[in-house]
Amino acid sequence: MKLKAVLLLLCMVSANAWAQNVEAQRGQSVTAQNGEAQAICQEAKVYYEKRDYPKALRLYCKAAGMGSAEAQSVVGDIYRVMGNDEEAVMWYRMAAEQGYAAGQNGMGVMCEHGRGVEKDEQAALQWYRLAADQDNADAQCNLGMMYYKGHGVKKDMVQALGWFRKSAEQGNADGQNSLGYMYRNGEGVEADAYEAVKWFRKAAEQGNPSAEYNLGECYAMGKGVEKSMYKAQEWYRLAANQGNISAQDELRRLGYSVRTTEP
């Protein structure tokens, strides 16, 4: 059985068992339950880092059933990746309603894209804002993108820039790439090719394919850096190897071969 199927089965079993365990858990104090759930989450992280994903997932599901917001959010992530959006929304909502920022961000993603729930950009904006106000870097970047695109709110480049910056300064690669993009194009801020390169590089060095492509463009055009087609194609290659279509097209245009793999 493929790993994805194994993980899904484990999650389904644990989720169904959760409802049956509620009565038994009522006899425990809230403090005891919270402490046990936190310990289980810590153990799950250890197995995850060891790449023992089935064991990690089984533990996260157990902790989620005990009411751990952290575990509920992680289980929501797993279901979302597996394409079971309705289950993802259920677990994200549990975490979000406990005020857990990652769960709130997860709900924002699902509402924005209409996955497992009716598409609602206003609701997405509200969830992102709740998480962003808790300094969740993913939510800050997502909120910035809502302002940038005018989704659920009036377009506001200054607000977009501010949220991208908050995200970027926490080391979020998507936030760094977005901030670099705004500096490059002079959106919400005076254009500054050197600042653009700085932020593209920070994101690219984390393996962000969009940033790798953008940094490659900077080298190809000599904007913010000394022009170097050799370095340009190096960054294009890194992006292309992660499936970035623009980078693949640019490599072909420059006469380089491109190796593509089936998803």
Residue 14 placed within a domain: yes
Specify the pTM. 0.86
**How far is residue 252's CA from residue 76's CA, in Å, rounded to a whole number?**
39
Residue 28 placed within a domain: no
Residue 246 placed within a domain: no
Q: Is the pLDDT of residue 1 over 50?
A: no
**How far is residue 250's CA from residue 57's CA, in Å, rounded to a whole number?**
40
Residue 58 placed within a domain: yes
Residue 88 placed within a domain: yes
For position 56, which CATH number holds? Answer: 1.25.40.10
Residue 176 placed within a domain: no
Q: Is the pLDDT of residue 111 over 90?
A: yes
3-state secondary structure the chain: CCHHHHHHHHHHHHHHHHHHHHHHHCCCCHHHHHHHHHHHHHHHHHHHHCCCHHHHHHHHHHHHHCCCHHHHHHHHHHHHHHCCHHHHHHHHHHHHCCCCHHHHHHHHHHHHHCCCCCCCHHHHHHHHHHHHCCCCHHHHHHHHHHHHHCCCCCCCHHHHHHHHHHHHHCCCHHHHHHHHHHHHHCCCCCCCHHHHHHHHHHHHCCCCHHHHHHHHHHHHHCCCCCCCHHHHHHHHHHHHHCCCHHHHHHHHHCCCCCCCCCC
Residue 214 placed within a domain: no
**How confident is the model over 176-219, as pLDDT tens digits?**
999 999 999 999 999 999 999 999 999 999 999 999 999 999 99
Q: Is the pLDDT of residue 12 over 90?
A: no
**What's the structural domain count of the chain?**
1
Residues in the chain: 263
**How far is residue 217's CA from residue 239's CA, in Å, rounded to a whole number?**
11
Residues 229, 230, 232, 238: what is their CA dihedral angle, to the nearest 10 degrees? 150
Measured over the CA atoms of residue 213, residue 216, residue 222 and residue 224, the dihedral's sign is positive
**How confident is the model over 115-143, as pLDDT tens digits?**
999 999 999 999 999 999 999 999 999 99
Residue 5 placed within a domain: yes
**How far is residue 221's CA from residue 244's CA, in Å, rounded to a whole number?**
19
Q: Is the pLDDT of residue 94 over 50?
A: yes
Residues 15, 21, 23, 27: what is their CA dihedral angle, to the nearest 10 degrees? -130
Give the pLDDT score at 51.
83
**Segments forming the whole domain that contains residue 96:** 1-22+34-131
